[in-house]
C-alpha cells in the first residue's frame, strides 16, 4: 500500500512539474503588427438627437495567438459632431480585443471590450465600452463594419459605421 501511495504521489509530482513548462512568446513580423486607420459612422439611439456624424482614428497592436485567433489592445479617438446648439464631443476607448480569422485572407469577426473616456462633456467622464465588428482582411488591409457603444448608468453613446486599417508590420 505504501508503494502504491508513493507511486501516486510521484506520478502527480512529475505531472505537475511537466505542466510548469513556460512557452516562449516569439513576437515577429509574421504574427504581430500594429494597425492604424480611420472610421466613420452615424450615431444611433438617443445620442442621434445630439450628434449627426462621427469620425474616428483607430490604433491597435495585435499578436496572433493561434493561426486563427488574434488578441491585442486598441485605442483611438472618435469625434462626434454636435447638432442644434450641442457642442462637439469625443470618446477615447482603451480596450482589449480578440479577432477570429477563419482563413489567412477573407472574412473575420472580432470584438473589443474596455473603458471609453468621454471628452468635452462636463457631467460625463466615460463608461464601459464594447465594439463588435465584422470585416474583410488581407495581408495589408482590414475593412470592416462596426457597432460601437459607450455606456454607464447615466448615458449611452452608440454608433454604427465602417472603417479601414492598414497593417504596419515589424521589420
CATH of domain 25-169: 2.40.160.20
The residue ranking higher by pLDDT, 84 or 109, is 109
d(CA 92, CA 115): 8
pLDDT, average across residues 115-139: 95
pTM: 0.81
Q: Domain extents for the chain? A: 25-169
Q: What pLDDT shows up at residue 27?
A: 55
Residues in CB range of 72: below 8 A, 6 or more apart? 60, 61, 62, 63, 96, 97
Amino acid at each position: 500500500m505504501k508503494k502504491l501511495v508513493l507511486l501516486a504521489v510521484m506520478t502527480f509530482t512529475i505531472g505537475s512539474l511537466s505542466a510548469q513548462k513556460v512557452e516562449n512568446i516569439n513576437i515577429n513580423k509574421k504574427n504581430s503588427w500594429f494597425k492604424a486607420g480611420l472610421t466613420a459612422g452615424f450615431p444611433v439611439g438617443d445620442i442621434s438627437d445630439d450628434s449627426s456624424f462621427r469620425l474616428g482614428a483607430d490604433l491597435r497592436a495585435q499578436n496572433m495567438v493561434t493561426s486563427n485567433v488574434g488578441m491585442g489592445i486598441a485605442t483611438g479617438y472618435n469625434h462626434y459632431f454636435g447638432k442644434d446648439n450641442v457642442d462637439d464631443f469625443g470618446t477615447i476607448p482603451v480596450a482589449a480585443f480578440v479577432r477570429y480569422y477563419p482563413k489567412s485572407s477573407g472574412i473575420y469577426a472580432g470584438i473589443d471590450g474596455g473603458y471609453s473616456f468621454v471628452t468635452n462633456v462636463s457631467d460625463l467622464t466615460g463608461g464601459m465600452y464594447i465594439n463588435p465588428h465584422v470585416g474583410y482582411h488581407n495581408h495589408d488591409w482590414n475593412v470592416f463594419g462596426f457597432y460601437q457603444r459607450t455606456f454607464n448608468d447615466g448615458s449611452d453613446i452608440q454608433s454604427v459605421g465602417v472603417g479601414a486599417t492598414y497593417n504596419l508590420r515589424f521589420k
